[in-house]
Structures are given as structure tokens and as C-alpha cells.
């Protein structure tokens, strides 16, 4: 199928409309008409070749929601008309230790939704800034939110699961004090989810202007991290900190906020390394530094159901596809509350 997409021909070129092809659904495939696609900072890193190995033309987008339009003969879990989502993974080896554990995100042969090798043309995957996608049913998620909320569900497919998974892995819950660093697309979901899990949530932001808004998202307190006195007031008090910042920055001031045995987990993936840590800020209180990558398919479904049961969605700004280049510039300035989502109907207009 020949469809319209939005992508870039080189790292220093703006995104523009282009035509791409999708395979006909195989026996295990689900074909999805994409209604909305969230705009993740990873899309920007990848399409501008800030991480190594971007293949062009590059069509980003891994926060995909839409409706099933066709299914292969052996698909049992989905039928035409179903509301579904696709996140960061569209395939994996299906038989390694990670896949067996439902942690396809850690499979060495994981196929990302864009920029990963595949036998489909052009030889690597093309993402959700497009009209349609065809994916093996194992990687298709069921959406139980009301259809009217569909655009606001899209960011759950990456920003939601990328924050939910570490909050669950490090068993965040009642009685815990949790910090979320960087209040962007991931960070605002981190606040909502940690709050819903019963933790006391502190938003750690560089933006004085987000103080009030972070409280409205569910934070119990907001700390402007550039303010050393405010930071010092929280020294040694956090059980867990989730760092979602998209740029290199000094981690040590955040380690000092952790209690003995506290953990700081990095999910932000800047193109160049952080200038820290100083080992002493870790060893003095047996603190841990960790990382986490998106989440597996069963946990992504669990997160979507958790959010549907509690009415949790992302705060979004809906844009047309041709506004994507401006949206990237605004995202770089932190000027979005809190996720741009493309209305994919605008691709055809």
C-alpha cells in the first residue's frame, strides 16, 4: 500500500511530505489506520541524527493510536474497527530470555518502530508520522479509553510506558518520596503515574514557569533545580528519582537528594554524556544510578489499562503534520504543555 508520510531526507533538512509503502498484512499482521501520533523528543534526536546511525529518508513516530482496518488469517486478538496502539517496538526475536519474560524492549533483535532493520521496503522501519502501519499482532496494544480521548492516549505509548516501567520496577508506592526531573512529555506522565501509584511526588524543573502547572499535574511539591537553597532543603530525603531530561546536565545535585539506598534512574537519552557522577555522591549513602528503556508489551498493556481505569491521559497540543518543524523548535525550548500530537488526518488534506 502506497501512503502519505512526513519525514526528513537528511539530518539538517526539515520534515516534509513523502510517499512510502507498507506491506500487505501477513497472516499474523494487523493493519492500522493511524488517527494520531505523539511527538517524542526521541523523534527529534533520531531524525536530526543526534544519535548514531539514522537512515534516510527517516519517518519518526512511535506513539501511535488508530483503528484496525484489516487482520491476517491467523490473528485472533484483534478485528477491524478495534481501537489500538503501537509503541516503540514492532518486532523482536520472540524466543530469547527477554522475549520469554515479556521484556521485548530488551531483546537484542528488537525492531524499533522506526530506523530499525526490516525486510520491508526500504529495508528499515518507518514510523507513525504516516497514514497507516502494519504490525505483527504480538506488538499491538488494546485501547480501552473512550474514543473521544484517543489523541490524549497516544503519548502513553512511549512517554507513559517509559515512566510507568521504572516506577513499577523500583516499586514506587505509598510512603515513598519520588522526584521527577524534567517536566516535558515523559516527566509530566511520570508525575501523573507516580501520583496515581500513591507516592509523594516532587517535580524538579529548571523552569520557574512550570511551578503552578506541575502542581496541577499531581505533584505535591515543586523544586526549581537551579535554586541551590531549594535543593538543599530536600537533601537526603528521596527514595527514588526519575530523570527524563533530554540534555546533558550535572547529576550530582540530584544524587544528594537521595536517601541511603535510594536510586536515581535515567530515562532521558541525550546525544552527549552527562558530566558526572562524582563517585563520592554515590558511595557515601550506598546510592544507585540506573537506566531504563521503554517497556515490554505486557507491561505496556498493563499501563494502558491502569490509565484507562483511572482516567489518566496526557496533556497535549494537537497539531497538523505541516506544523511538525515548528513543534520541534518549540519542544527544544521547553515550550509545550506537555506533548505535541499530530492529527494524522491532516496528512491527506
Residues that bind ligand NAP (CB under 6 A): 40-42, 45, 158-159, 162, 182-187, 205-207, 210, 244-247, 249, 267-270, 292-294, 331, 334
Q: CA–CA separation, 284 vs 208, rounded Å?
A: 31
Residue 287 Cβ vs ligand NAP, minimum distance, rounded to whole Å: 20
For Zn ion, which residue has the nearest CB?
40
Contacts of residues 213-217 at CB distance under 8 Å and 24 or more positions apart, as own/partner, are: 213/183, 213/337, 214/183, 214/188, 217/183, 217/188, 217/191, 217/192, 217/315, 217/338
With contact defined as beta carbons under 8 Å apart, do 249 and 274 qualify?
Answer: yes
List beta partners, residue 258. 238
Concatenating the DSSP letter of every residue in 47-58 gives HTT-SS---SSB
With contact defined as beta carbons under 8 Å apart, do 321 and 342 qualify?
Answer: yes
Q: CA–CA separation, 334 vs 187, rounded Å?
A: 12
Of 239 and 243, the one with the shorter C-beta distance to Zn ion is 243
Task: Pick left, alpha or beta for residue 313 (phi over 0 → left; psi -120 to 50 → alpha; otherwise beta).
Answer: beta
Residue 267 Cβ vs Zn ion, minimum distance, rounded to whole Å: 10
Residue 338: closest CA among 327, 347, 346, 322 = 327
Partner from Zn ion, ligand NAP, none contacting 41, C-beta within 5 to 8 A by type: ligand NAP
For ligand NAP, which residue has the nearest CB?
184
Partner from ligand NAP, Zn ion, none contacting 268, C-beta within 5 to 8 A by type: ligand NAP
Of 147 and 250, the one with the shorter C-beta distance to ligand NAP is 250
Of 128 and 187, the one with the shorter C-beta distance to ligand NAP is 187
Of 16 and 50, the one with the shorter C-beta distance to ligand NAP is 50
Task: Pick left, alpha or beta for residue 330 (phi over 0 → left; psi -120 to 50 → alpha; otherwise beta).
Answer: alpha
Decide if residue 165 touches Zn ion (CB under 5 A): no
Residue 41 Cβ vs ligand NAP, minimum distance, rounded to whole Å: 3
Q: Which of residues 13-52 bind Zn ion (CB under 5 A)?
A: 40, 42
Of 70 and 312, the one with the shorter C-beta distance to ligand NAP is 312
Q: CA–CA separation, 312 vs 295, rounded Å?
A: 18
Of 6 and 164, the one with the shorter C-beta distance to ligand NAP is 164
- Give the x-and-dash track for 145-164 against Zn ion (CB under 5 A): -------------x------
* Binding interface with Zn ion (CB under 5 A): 40, 42, 158
Amino acid at each position: 500500500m502506497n501512503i502519505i508520510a512526513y519525514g526528513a531526507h537528511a539530518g539538517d533538512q526539515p520534515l516534509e511530505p513523502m510517499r512510502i509503502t507498507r506491506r500487505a498484512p501477513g497472516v499474523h499482521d494487523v493493519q492500522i489506520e493511524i488517527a494520531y501520533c505523539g511527538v517524542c523528543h526521541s523523534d527529534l534526536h533520531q531524525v536530526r541524527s543526534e544519535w548514531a546511525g539514522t537512515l534516510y529518508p527517516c519517518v519518526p513516530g512511535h506513539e501511535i493510536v488508530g483503528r484496525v482496518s484489516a487482520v491476517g488469517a491467523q490473528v485472533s486478538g484483534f478485528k477491524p474497527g478495534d481501537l489500538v496502539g503501537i509503541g516503540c517496538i514492532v518486532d523482536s526475536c520472540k524466543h530469547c530470555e527477554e522475549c520469554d519474560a515479556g521484556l521485548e524492549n530488551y531483546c537484542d533483535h528488537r525492531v524499533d518502530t522506526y530506523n530499525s532493520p526490516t525486510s520491508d521496503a526500504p529495508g528499515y522501519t518507518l514510523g507513525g508520522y504516516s497514514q497507516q502501519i502494519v504490525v505483527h499482532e504480538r506488538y499491538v496494544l488494546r485501547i480501552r479509553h473512550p474514543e473521544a480521548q484517543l489523541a490524549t492516549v497516544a503519548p502513553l505509548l512511549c512517554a507513559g510506558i517509559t515512566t510507568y516501567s521504572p516506577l513499577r520496577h523500583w516499586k514506587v508506592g505509598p510512603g515513598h518520596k519520588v522526584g521527577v526531573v524534567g517536566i516535558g512529555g515523559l516527566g509530566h506522565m511520570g508525575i501523573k503515574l507516580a501520583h496515581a501509584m500513591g507516592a509523594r511526588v516532587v517535580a524538579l524543573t529548571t523552569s520557574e514557569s512550570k511551578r503552578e502547572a506541575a502542581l496541577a499535574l499531581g505533584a505535591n511539591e515543586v523544586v526549581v533545580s537551579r535554586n541551590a537553597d531549594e535543593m538543599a532543603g530536600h537533601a537526603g530525603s528521596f527514595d527514588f528519582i526519575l530523570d527524563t531530561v533530554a540534555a546533558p546536565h550535572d547529576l550530582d545535585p540530584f544524587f544528594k537528594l537521595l536517601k541511603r539506598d535510594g536510586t536515581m534512574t535515567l530515562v532521558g537519552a541525550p546525544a552527549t554524556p552527562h558530566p558526572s557522577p562524582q563517585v563520592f555522591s554515590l558511595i557515601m549513602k550506598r546510592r544507585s544510578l540506573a537506566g531504563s528503556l521503554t517497556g515490554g508489551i505486557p507491561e505496556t498493556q498493563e499501563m494502558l489499562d491502569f490509565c484507562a481505569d483511572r482516567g489518566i491521559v496526557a496533556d497535549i497540543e494537537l497539531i497538523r503534520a505541516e506544523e511538525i518543524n515548528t513543534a520541534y523548535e518549540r519542544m527544544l525550548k521547553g515550550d509545550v504543555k506537555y506533548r505535541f500530537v499530530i492529527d494524522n488526518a491532516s496528512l491527506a488534506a
